[in-house]
Structure 1
């Protein structure tokens, strides 16, 4: 795999009359778009329109499945069994892929959203269920997971399921010493200073150390970097980062 880091962004998260994000301006700046599949956000028309936007700009499309939690935006843990998780992930991949195929494209990878994403860091049975869903849907369909200080566990389970992994880092989130994300409820867990977001993104892209939540240096090996593009400030950072990576 190339050492060039890719940029990804969570998109297609509007729902009905409610609009979230600035997909039209963020899409041309990223390599990968993680598209909501209707469980934490989005609806059929939003999915169709966002897929068309990604295809228009040549952006790889990822399914962004979540727990069935529209009210909580998929950020609340739900006590779903591994069997349920496998089924709900398969369901969401298939829904998004229908729009992709209609637009002459396909789902390129899967990135779980919110609480489901975080639960996979701790729960082997849930991670195995999501890996099995990817493998059942299409041979070689990659799963995007959190890049930690040590991804040995994830790699072992992925190899057993025959699923390629994409390791993801975040430019605007603070990290604990083990490489896990600091909980959003903690002050300072989300970076808002554009210069800090840009500095962390560039350090990760170069595989250089950056300050963790405790101030100590942390180094991550990542294939893709998530930068949120839901406001003017983050879009400005995304534009600067895109330019910096293209010039590297």
Structure 2
């Protein structure tokens, strides 16, 4: 029996003359695109182009909302109330959804970015406010939960949530993720091994050799990694051997 898993990637993070990521090269290898909506990155033109690119490749489209901090790429801590963070998410969700609607593309999910994701993980009140905001817009949207704290909050609500794992970042023994200050090239074989391990067994090994549970249905690959295409090629080369089938987020939900 085949194992089904989604590959998601944060995309559309260029803006103006600033280019970030390798969206055109990455899109053929993924099943779900989390698209920035102008707060931490992205602009209206990039949003339109990225949604159209995803549609061209049959990739699921959703919003990647961040804090209003382009200077810090949405990774700096901000003092914001639960209600303010909810409004940030609803605003960005509406903007990207309008772009998708204009192009006739189905809009399916929400995945928080950077410091916003950390805020939701550390504060259940913030997480609840965001989930309630998403439900108020469309109860059929899927919430891509970036860690177990957020996932557990989603279980309090009638919202579909999918837990994601990471293979191009390292885990600590407590299942927290090590976020490097700068992205470095990763070993394709190691990343592919981690992908297969999570997809088939729901576990991954830390750099210290500790095996931890990561019951993920979606795997995040960071599109701005120096050798991201090589990593994705290595993963795809292992799919048949490991009896893993790629399935988009909306099909899993």
Tell me the TM-score normalised to structure 2 length. Answer: 0.88
Q: How does 1:171-190 map to 2 (within 5 A)?
A: 171-184=167-180
Structure scoring higher RCO (CA < 8 A, sep ≥ 6) equals 2
1:95-128, Cα deviation, whole Å (9 max, x unpaired): 0001100111132000000111122222101110
1:182, 1:213 within 8 Å by CA — same for their partners in 2? no
> Which residue is 1:197 aligned to?
191
1:177, 1:213 within 8 Å by CA — same for their partners in 2? no
Deviation at 1:197, TM superposition (A): 1.7
> Which residue is 1:75 aligned to?
75
| Contiguous gaps of at least 5 residues in structure 1 | none
Identify the structure with the greater strand proportion.
2
| Distance (Å, rounded) in 1 between the aligned partners of 2:114 and 2:218 | 17
Query: Do the aligned partners of residues 183 and 24 (structure 1) sit closer, same or farther apart at CA in structure 2, a change above 3 Å counting?
Result: closer
Deviation at 1:201, TM superposition (A): 1.6
Matched, 1:157 2:157: no
1:128-160, Cα deviation, whole Å (9 max, x unpaired): 01101110110121111124xxx4x54553233
Query: Do the aligned partners of residues 184 and 119 (structure 1) sit closer, same or farther apart at CA in structure 2, a change above 3 Å counting?
Result: farther
| Contiguous gaps of at least 5 residues in structure 2 | 244-253
How many residues are treated as equivalent by the alignment? 241
| Distance (Å, rounded) in 2 between the aligned partners of 1:109 and 1:128 | 16
| Distance (Å, rounded) in 2 between the aligned partners of 1:223 and 1:73 | 27
Query: Do the aligned partners of residues 208 and 223 (structure 1) sit closer, same or farther apart at CA in structure 2, a change above 3 Å counting?
Result: closer
2:9, 2:222 within 8 Å by CA — same for their partners in 1? yes
- Matched position secondary structure for 2:186: coil
- Matched position secondary structure for 1:80: coil
| Distance (Å, rounded) in 1 between the aligned partners of 2:104 and 2:238 | 31
Q: How does 1:1-248 map to 2 (within 5 A)?
A: 3-147=3-147, 151=148, 154-184=150-180, 192-231=186-225, 233-245=227-239, 248=243
Deviation at 1:13, TM superposition (A): 0.6
